[in-house]
Amino acid sequence: MKDIDMAKEFLNNEKLSLAIVKNGKLVFSSTGIGIKPLFTAVEQLKDELEGSSVADKVTGKAAAMLCKYAKIKELHTHLISENALAVLKDSPIILEYDESTPYIINRDKTGMCPVETLSLKTNDIDELMSGIKKFLESIGLL
């Protein structure tokens, strides 16, 4: 079975929010919400993620930038924003998704997701990582 198929299977069967598979092994998984699972994976395993396959529930611009930075090979997501599609358009990442949307909405469905908003302000990965860290700290997730 291909890594991307394994990642999708883990995501769906184990009710995960993120599954990362490399060389036939699950290297990272999470039931966490928002950007935190992918941010944590990139922070902890950055070099190990190169060539891996990622299955994620929702992919906004920030998540797309993190995937590109980590040099993942394949990404499957249920929902992807147009901003994320633009980031991945010229990348070597093999992408498959179920649905696209103009932008990722926030949890109370009153506007844009705060991390999507944050990501629109920069194309610099270091600036983005710093901004995500500050955001996660401000809401008590770090």
Look at the chain and report how many structural domains it folds into: 1
Which CATH number is 94's domain given?
Answer: 3.40.140.30
Span 92-115, pLDDT tens digits: 999 999 999 999 999 999 999 999
Predicted pLDDT of residue 46: 86
> Distance between CA 101 and CA 111 in Å, rounded?
13
Query: Is the confidence at residue 141, as pLDDT, over 90?
Result: no
Q: Tell me the residue range of the domain where 94 lies.
A: 3-138
Span 30-53, pLDDT tens digits: 999 999 999 999 999 988 999 999
- Split at pLDDT 50, 70, 90, the class of 22 is very high
% residues pLDDT > 90 (the chain): 94
Q: In three state form, how does the secondary structure of 46-97 look?
A: HHHHCCCEEEEEEECHHHHHHHHHCCCCEEEEEEEEHHHHHHHCCCCCEEEE
